[in-house]
Structure 1
Amino acid sequence: MGNELLLRLSFFVLCVAFYGNAEEREDKVTLTADAKIIQHAGGRVTLTCSAYRPAALMYELYRRSSFHGRETFINTSNGVFSITEGGIYRCRGFTQGFFTPVSDDVTIKETVSNRVSVTMEPNWSQIYRGEKVTLRCEIRGGGGAQWMYEWRPNRNSPSSREYKINSATASDSGEYSCMAKSDYKQTQWSDAFRLSVLSEKPKATVTADNTIIPAGGSVTLRCSVENSADWKVYWFRRDFSGATNINNNKPDGTIIVSDGGVYSCRGGRRGRGDPVFYTETSREVTIQKTGEFSYQLFFKITSII
């Protein structure tokens, strides 16, 4: 008797589970969209709410602006809804005294008119191997929205507005573009920004209007660097007492010297808060005073010794 009761009870549980699941499956509604993005102002997307067992059902559509936002009722229809605003949507069916469970969420993106562009910091015309570069995604009229960002290419997959390259190499050369996203809103992709990284360090060159300083006179030296507008010039001088740095604040890279010695220079530049990036040091130029012992001969002799 006990075994027979247990068998009947087990059969009853199986029936409830089977038919209960079937009823839940028939009551389930599904929300689909003919597109995932409303491409521009005036655009629209069609949402369709349908049921496994649709007889005599009407449908309600709901929307919220974020995953944790407040849900609002949009409209009632026979299952087809035309929307012009992005958001997170779901629906349910109903008839007299009966409501189906709600559908799964469907997120519809919406493109906004805000334009984005890629800028570079520092804003140099050429970037060399080893330099630090920051690309920035600028959005016009972004207001106080909490934007997330997407980059192409996405080697580092940053979600912030800055794409940092700590030590540039030739492989970082290419076109970069970005877009901004906030909940269901997104911008168009920016125009491509072309980054070119040169593999060789730039060279500095020294020229002199004379290599011999006349009695009581001076000589003008000029240091030139590729793309010289971006570089600060650093001068060096060697004589019998050793090597010294020469302070020079002239932006054109010239110095006027009245002392003999062996002179050279190099360029340096840096972005805000970054370490100085130096060019190759120039070839040395020997400057000699009239009647002075030859520095060139002195350094040749000391190198032999």
Structure 2
Amino acid sequence: MCVNTERPKPVVKVSPDQRVFRGETVTLTCDIQGGGNIQWTYSWFKDGDTHNPYRTTTTTVISFRADYVSDSVNKYSCRGERSDSQRSDISAAVTLTVSGLKPKPELTSDPAGAALTGNTVTLTCRMDPSTGWHFYWYKHTPNSETKKTETNSYRVKIDSVSDGGQYWCRAGRGKPLYYYYTQYSDALWVNVTVSPKAVVTVRPDERVFRGETVTLRCDIKWGGDTEWTYRWEIEGTNNWYRNSADRCTQECSTSGTDNQTHRNAVSWCSTQEWNISSVDHIHSGKYTCTGQKNTQCSQRSDAVTLNVSAEAQAAVRVSPQPWLTEGDSVTLICEVTGSSTGWTFSWFRDDDHLSDSSRGAGGSYTLSPAALQHTGVYTCRAERGRPAYYTNYSNTQPLWITGVSRSVSLVVSPSRSQHFSSDSLSLSCEDQSNSAGWTVRRYTDRNTQDCSKQTGSTCRIVSLSTSDTGVYWCQSESGEKRHPLNITVHDGDVILVSSVDPVIEGDTLTLHCLHRSTNSPILRADFYKDGSLIQNQTTGEMNITTVSKSHEGFYYCKTERGQSLHSWISVRGSGQIFVFNILSFLLAACPYLLSTIVLLFKCYRARVTSAEGQIKYAVTE
């Protein structure tokens, strides 16, 4: 039978640490490893003297105040003995170092600079040694404890500027009756500044169109040269951004985050500007951004909603109306449906780009004064961004400018602007100087075309239909347009009979209603101008004896048998006729007038020369 003669080996354990401070309570434990449950008596030895025990106890633990330690460095060991005279080995000595000065922790903060509201500041209370301590945190005054932690860091939530101010910390350890506190740290100022709010801007607009280039920019108004990094969040119905390699992995702790609202949001770490080269419907959504410097974040921006629509469509309208007399003013307005930001515009007449399109840079193209050569069909197109994005071409908008005392006239038979369907119509171009070379053209249902049945300069329509409604004019071989007239074809039983040409100021305007079956004026009719009743059923005819510019407008009549279509009655000034006639006379008489002036000038010079000679002769004598 073999007997194990190896003696157990005790180990000395120190609490709270092998480095303590004067006044702390120290606990030494003699742990005899492999000693079993046998009752031991413990001998304690100090500073290597193993012959004279420092203390003998029946328990494994001894405690004492470090104040009673005479030296700053002491070594302790222990040994166990049993009643059968069996002894353990003497433990290895442990060194207990005692400092006479009460420790003072160091308090630091992260970030070290100004803290921003809506963020957190991490306070760190540094102690050496760091074993076994609890940490106590104070705000405004050293005796106003706000928090106790087992670690040496404390996160302060900065909700408002009032969370700033002076902070302290101290540490403590030991048993309740013998608890030991360090000194307070020096005061640490936590400076709090209201967190700046990020602002998202979108170029060219929050409402964009498929294929445009969009730039989102995050701006943060903040003093100094602080470098920010940016985090974008997108909340939308599509997941196009979820597969990006640039997804943000670092969360920024901002206040006021509505988790319900942003539960589907995806974060992107990005630069200050974010470009989407060719947007599509999947890019629609709400965009927000946050700035981050170190561990501090700005306030989240308000959401900007990016709406991506189908291709952009330009639309053109005219003010005040498309029928003009030479010398009038007219403005064409080009607009992009549903968008008004950042567009420049190009204008076209009869599909030719206008060289002075820059006049329409703001969406308006003004002709003042309007001239005969401005007659035509206008369209516009808008563009914006770099690279440029173009809208579709707009609807067409014709402008018709009538002149005064023209050498070329469009003669209509019967001479009226409204006609019944199934009736016949004749239109002829008459040139006082040369009737050849002119043809009748028309603009109907957005198309410009020659008259379907034309012989020479005369167009004949045997049976009118509503599709023949439009504007007719005379056009030369070189493309000049003269004398546009509006012809309306009605399927109903009543038409308004009025002059096909503009009315001269001071003349009499006569209107009456014509019935299809009788082809004669109706005796009782109501007459309207611009939608307002101007004469009731007292007679079937209306006369305006002295016409002025104020009588210009849309007229129609209404009877028991039906209502006519609307006709535009234009009025031109009599002064225009006078001036034009004078100019025409001067131009016609120009060769004779010029030769007469030359002869008179020569006679005058001859007489002056003769008179000068006689005076000179008299002086000589």
TM-score, normalised to structure 1, is 0.55
2:352 maps to which of 235, 243, 251: 243
Q: 2:379–2:396: 8 Å Cα contact kept in structure 1? A: yes
Q: 1:114–1:142: 8 Å Cα contact kept in structure 2? A: no
- Change in 2 beyond 3 A, CA 1:131/1:219: same
> Residue in 2 aligned with 1:81?
152
Q: 2:214–2:276: 8 Å Cα contact kept in structure 1? A: yes
Report SS of the residue matched to 1:286.
strand
> Residue in 1 aligned with 2:37?
none
Percent identity over paired residues: 24
Q: Does 2:387 match 1:269? A: no
1:151 is displaced (CA, Å) by 1.0
Partner Cα distance (1:287, 1:78) in 2: 84
Q: Any gaps of 5 or more consecutive residues in structure 2?
A: 1-109, 136-147, 158-191, 236-240, 245-267, 403-408, 411-438, 453-621
Aligned length in residues: 216
1:152 is displaced (CA, Å) by 0.7
Q: 2:212–2:389: 8 Å Cα contact kept in structure 1? A: yes
> Residue in 2 aligned with 1:148?
229
Q: 2:283–2:306: 8 Å Cα contact kept in structure 1? A: yes
> Residue in 2 aligned with 1:95?
none
- Change in 2 beyond 3 A, CA 1:112/1:81: farther
Considering Cα pairs closer than 8 Å and 6+ residues apart, tell me whether 1 or 2 has the greater RCO: 1
Q: 1:127–1:198: 8 Å Cα contact kept in structure 2? A: yes
Report SS of the residue matched to 1:80.
coil
Q: 1:206–1:282: 8 Å Cα contact kept in structure 2? A: no
1:232 maps to which of 344, 353, 363: 344
- Change in 2 beyond 3 A, CA 1:159/1:142: farther
> Residue in 1 aligned with 2:203?
122
> Residue in 2 aligned with 1:296?
442
2:294 maps to which of 160, 166, 183: 183
> Residue in 2 aligned with 1:135?
216
- Change in 2 beyond 3 A, CA 1:134/1:174: same
Partner Cα distance (2:355, 2:119) in 1: 66
Partner Cα distance (1:151, 1:229) in 2: 24
Amino acid at match of 1:196: N
Report SS of the residue matched to 1:263.
strand
Q: Does 2:283 match 1:172? A: yes
> Residue in 1 aligned with 2:131?
57
Amino acid at match of 1:284: T
Partner Cα distance (2:340, 2:234) in 1: 31
Over residues 279-298 of structure 1, what are the superposed CA-to-partner deviations in whole Å (9 max), with x where a residue is unaligned? 22122233445447555369
Partner Cα distance (2:231, 2:193) in 1: 15
> Residue in 2 aligned with 1:220?
330
Q: Any gaps of 5 or more consecutive residues in structure 1?
A: 1-35, 62-76, 87-110
Partner Cα distance (1:57, 1:133) in 2: 57
Moved over 6 A (4+): 36-39, 46-49
Aligned ranges 1:8-19 → 2 under 5 Å: none
- Change in 2 beyond 3 A, CA 1:139/1:247: same
Q: 1:210–1:220: 8 Å Cα contact kept in structure 2? A: yes
Larger Rg: 2
Report SS of the residue matched to 1:114.
coil
Partner Cα distance (1:42, 1:182) in 2: 11
- Structure 1 window deviating more from structure 2 (280-289 vs 167-176): it is 280-289
Over residues 81-124 of structure 1, what are the superposed CA-to-partner deviations in whole Å (9 max), with x where a residue is unaligned? 244589xxxxxxxxxxxxxxxxxxxxxxxx97432323224363
Amino acid at match of 2:354: N
Q: 2:311–2:391: 8 Å Cα contact kept in structure 1? A: no
- Change in 2 beyond 3 A, CA 1:199/1:252: closer
Q: 1:153–1:176: 8 Å Cα contact kept in structure 2? A: yes
Aligned ranges 1:105-120 → 2 under 5 Å: 113-120=194-201
State the Cα RMSD in Å: 4.3
Amino acid at match of 2:272: R
- Change in 2 beyond 3 A, CA 1:220/1:80: same
